[in-house]
A and B are shown apart, each in its own frame.
Chain A
Amino acid sequence: MNRRSLLKGAMGLGAAGAAGFPHIWIKSADMAYAAGGEIKIGILYSLTGTTAIIETSLNHATLMAIDEINAAGGVHGKKLVPVVEDPESDPATFAQKARKLVLSDRCVSVFGSYTSASRKAVLPVFEKYNNLYWYPTLYEGRECSQNVIYTGAVPNQQQKEFVPWLVKNFGKRFYLIGSNYIYPKEENNVCKILLKQLGGEVVGEEYVPLGHSEFSSVIQKFQDTKPNVIFSTVVGDSVVALHRQYKAAGLDPAKMPMASLTTSEEEIAAMGGEFAAGHFTSAPYFMSYDSPENKKFVESYQKRWGADKVTNFVSEPAYFQVHLFAKAAAKLGASDLHPAEIRKAAWGETVQAPEGLVKIDPDNSHTYLWPKIGEAQANGQFKIIEQSKEWVKPLPYWAYEGEVCTPTGMMEKKS
């Protein structure tokens, strides 16, 4: 290679580099968010690794919502272009991919995360670059970021009606079983507060390692303590193992039902309906809910991704939050399309979701939802036996007296 061809090559590389990273050359950052007739948004759900099982369904629901919005003409006539990344169920990779989506791809918002660990891992990225993260999962609350819109349920929305209902129907003695991480512990804190108010009693509280699948000791403790209700926040494949071994040990859901915040249609499909039948779950959404929006949601989901696929209480928010995003973005002028503006526009925004009309709470960027109680059936679906008469306001700091989430950050009231 002589010097001339080397120079030519270097020039070529430089040109390719410039084409590959156009934002380097664009001075006004705001221009880039809606450049060239398209609006880029990031999709950050794991397609491989431990939580890929559930996160793939979130990815699917999100892509479907994007297609619907584009088919209806997009936002301001611009198409939403999803940039899909696979963070491999690893919090460090989540942070790295989030940085890529925010900095190199210049996405105006990113939709992602299932676990709290991965959300906490990407938070610094979104706060540093003042971008916006849309988080669909029900979670333990106690967070108040300026750069996240939370569309899943928080403890007060899942438990405030559920626990009194359980006490009324089954009794006051609860056994709390969960996986060993922050979500079950925070949910159980809330449950204990509610039980105390109702004069209930916790006869056992136990946490098993994530991915645990040997429940014989736990089941023996159920048999010894004879609780009225087994309050379960076990997650992932452990849910399947627990239900199967519960039935194989001869326990009866009519006398000692499991009341869960985490068992969805997805887990039931994997364990077999006969093992889930008679147990209860509290969530804002069930696949069997009867509404025109849900009928359409389930139909198009199965048409697009396979007739054996189920929708669940995480994939539903993953779906409707994209519509909320589009409605918020449509309120802004094309040149105002900026994460901070979208956040403001999203406050108070509503959409007719499959579960009912939902609204983003301007007080704390969480979402007004419709809690329901479902009883699992042998056919793998839930029979909805209770549903709230009105939407329930999200209170992410419900269990912590004197702490409130406000639009400008967490406030501690001096009391």
Chain B
Amino acid sequence: MTDLANQIITGLSIASILLLVSLGLAIIYGVMGVINLAHGDFLMLGAYAVWLMESALGLGFLPCLVMVFFIVGAIGWLVERTLIRHLYGRPLDTILATWGIGIILQQAIRLSAGAQLRYVKMPDYLVNPLHLLGLDISAYRLLIFSVTIVLVAVTYILIFHTSFGIRLRAVMQNAEIARCFGINNARIYSLTFAYGAGLAGLAGALVSPLKSVSPDMGTNYVVDAFLVVVSGGVQSLFGTVASAGIIGELSGGFAYFWNDTLARALLFFLVVVLIRFRPQGIFAMPLRRG
């Protein structure tokens, strides 16, 4: 019984990190149709921003998180304004352009902060595990889990219960008609991109004390994020949440019964099969595209 409970918790904590790193991508890819290969590098920027603020300015971890969201969001906004907006409707070109941005960001960090691993301190009160219901649960993983839930809720409210969200969904469904109704598409796009980038930065900042910080850390995460978004169904927030949960539990389970190497291979295999037979993902939303 304890084993099963432990296993479910392990799966959930993997799932919460997956969801955290894919949320920003889901927004940018789902809403704007931009395949953002620089997503992992926005994540990396977030981790470095936290490292810099902690080590140079001596700020605490939690205040850093808020600032990281805005810093990386601003960088995302800048990237959208100067480059991405010229490439809407040209998916292949955006792939190449965002990949290039990723390389530029990586090398910029390598040149300025150095190539070595960087140390982001875990807050002292989160280092030791909590005893809940007879189980040892990592306090830091619990923090990640809660922040992820909050972020999903905020994103949900933003999309479905604000006037910005209404305009966003209008642009998603048909950009031309939305413009006829006086919606400023360009502004919606750049804010959405900035929000997605900000979420990526926040994700990077949150995983940095549990994992490691290096210029090429983004590469692994961007693969995970695409895995989640594609199998969950593009344009579906619920799909992303559900598929992060399923992938997290599956990879935890596979890794438990066999090992992590095999778990990863199996997971990729399952996703390939899924896409072959259901290219729109598990939870695709029926949507008219303009």
Q: Does B231 contact A (CB under 8 A)?
A: no
Contact segment of A66-74, A137-145, A216-224: A216-224
Contact B260 A208 (CB under 8 A): yes
Q: A207 to B261, Cβ gap below 8 A? A: yes
Q: Are A216 and B216 in contact (CB under 8 A)?
A: no
B133 to chain A, nearest CB (A): 15
A114 to chain B, nearest CB (A): 13
Question: How near does chain B come to A207, taking the closest CB pair, in angstroms?
Answer: 6
Q: Name the residue in B17, B211, B263, B264 with the highest tally of chain A Cβ atoms < 10 Å from its Cβ.
A: B211
Select A206's contact among B3, B213, B260, beta carbons within 8 Å. Answer: B260
Please state if A224 and B3 are interface contacts (CB–CB under 8 Å): yes
Q: Are A248 and B212 in contact (CB under 8 A)?
A: no
Chain B's closest residue to A223 (CB) is B6
User: 0/1 per residue, A41-73, Cβ < 8 Å to B?
Assistant: 000000111101100110000000000000000
Closest 10 CB pairs of A and B: A270-B117, A217-B255, A250-B129, A240-B212, A237-B212, A248-B138, A213-B211, A52-B115, A208-B260, A250-B136
A216 touches B13 (CB 8 A): yes
1/0 per position for A230-245, CB-CB distance to B under 8 A?
A: 0000000100110011
* Interface of A: prevailing SS: helix
1/0 contact string of A256-277 vs chain B (CB within 8 Å): 0000000000110111101000
Q: Are B259 and A266 in contact (CB under 8 A)?
A: no
> How far apart are the CA atoms of A224 and B141 in the complex, in Å?
20
The closest CB in chain B to the CB of A247 belongs to B127
With A and B bound together, what is the CA distance between A237 and B207 in angstroms?
A: 13
B136 close to A47 (CB less than 8 A)? no
Q: Can you name 18 extra interface pairs (CB under 8 A) apart from A216-B141, A217-B252, A272-B119?
A: A48-B115, A208-B259, A209-B261, A211-B220, A213-B211, A217-B256, A220-B7, A220-B10, A220-B256, A237-B217, A240-B117, A244-B211, A248-B127, A248-B129, A250-B136, A267-B117, A270-B213, A271-B119
The answer to whether A240 and B211 touch across the interface, beta carbons within 8 angstroms, is: yes
Which residue of B6, B7, B121, B129 contacts A272 across the interface (Cβ within 8 Å)?
A: B121
Across the interface, which residues of B come within 8 angstroms of A247, CB to CB?
127
For the complex, what is the distance from the CA of A299 to the CA of B214, rounded to whole Å? 26
Name the residue among B3, B141, B255 with the largest chain A CB count within 10 angstroms: B255
- Chain B residue numbers with a CB within 8 Å of A237 are 117, 211-212, 214, 217
Check: B184 CB closer than 8 A to any chain A CB.
Answer: no
B112 sits at the interface (CB 8 A): no
B116 engages A270 (CB within 8 Å): yes
B29 within 8 A of A: no
Instruction: Across the interface, name the chain A residue whose C-beta is closest to B258.
Output: A206
> Cβ of B259 and Cβ of A206 under 8 Å apart?
yes
Answer whether residue A214 sits at the interface, using C-beta atoms and an 8 A cutoff: yes
Beta-carbon contacts under 8 Å, B84-139 to A: 107, 110, 114-119, 121-122, 126-129, 136, 138-139
A207 touches B117 (CB 8 A): no
Within 8 A of B (CB), among A119-137: none
**Docked pose: A223 CA to B211 CA in angstroms:** 20
Neighbouring B residues of A271 by C-beta, 8 Å = 119, 212
B196 at interface by CB-CB < 8 Å: no
Interface assignment of A387: CB less than 8 Å from any CB of chain B: no
**Given known contacts A50-B216, A266-B117, A272-B119, is B256 in contact with A248 (CB within 8 Å)?**
no
Instruction: Decide if A180 is an interface residue (CB 8 Å cutoff).
Output: yes
* B62 interfacial by beta-carbon distance below 8 Å: no
Is B116 touching A266 in the complex (CB atoms < 8 A)?
Answer: yes
Is the pair B116, A56 in contact by a Cβ cutoff of 8 Å?
A: yes
Given contacts A209-B261, A214-B17, contact A274 B212 (CB under 8 A): no
Q: Report chain A residues within 8 Å CB of B260.
A: 206-209, 212, 214, 217-218
Asked if residues A217 and B10 are in contact (CB atoms below 8 Å), the reply is yes
* B226 sits at the interface (CB 8 A): no
Return 20 A-B CB contacts under 8 Å, by A number: A48-B110, A53-B116, A180-B261, A211-B220, A213-B212, A213-B220, A214-B260, A216-B252, A217-B14, A217-B255, A220-B6, A223-B6, A237-B211, A248-B126, A248-B139, A249-B138, A250-B138, A269-B119, A270-B212, A271-B212
Complex CA gap A270/B209 in Å reads: 10
For the complex, give the distance between the alpha carbons of A189 and B187 in Å.
60
Give residues of chain B (252-286) contacting chain A, Cβ–Cβ below 8 Å.
252, 255-256, 259-261, 263-264
| B residues in contact with A53, CB < 8 Å | 115-117, 214
Q: How many residues of A contact B (CB 8 A)?
A: 40
- Which residues does A use to contact B, with CB under 8 Å? 47-50, 52-53, 56-57, 180, 206-209, 211-214, 216-218, 220-221, 223-224, 237, 240-241, 244-245, 247-250, 266-267, 269-272, 274
Residue B210 CB within 8 A of the other chain: yes
With contacts A214-B17, A218-B260, A224-B3 taken as known, whether A241 is within 8 angstroms of B115 at the C-beta atoms is no
A207 to B13, CA, bound (A): 21
With a CB–CB cut-off of 8 A, which chain A residues contact B17?
214
- Known A214-B17, A244-B209, A270-B118: A207·B136 in contact at CB below 8 Å: no
Q: Chain B contacts of A218 at CB under 8 A?
A: 255, 260
Nearest residue (CB) in A for B116 is A53
Chain A residues whose CB sits within 8 angstroms of the CB of B251 once the complex forms: 214, 217
Q: Which residues of the partner chain A approach B122 to less than 8 Å between Cβ atoms?
A: 244, 248, 272
Q: With CB as the reference atom, state the residue of chain A lying closest to B117.
A: A270
With a cutoff of 8 Å between Cβ atoms, the chain A residues found around residue B117 in the complex are 53, 237, 240, 266-267, 269-270
Report the Cα distance A50→B126, complex, angstroms.
Answer: 30
Chain B neighbourhood of A217, CB < 8 A: 10, 14, 251-252, 255-256, 260, 263
When distances are taken between beta carbons in the complex, the residues of chain B under 8 Å from A240 are: 117, 211-212
User: How many Å lie between the Cα of A323 and that of B147 in the bound state?
Assistant: 54
- Say yes or no: A248 contacts B141, CB within 8 Å: yes
Q: Which residues of A contact B10 (CB under 8 A)?
A: 216-217, 220
Which chain A residues border B107 with CB–CB below 8 Å? 48
Measured CB to CB, the closest approach of chain B to A185, in angstroms, equals: 12
Q: How many whole Å from B271's CB to the nearest CB in chain A?
A: 16
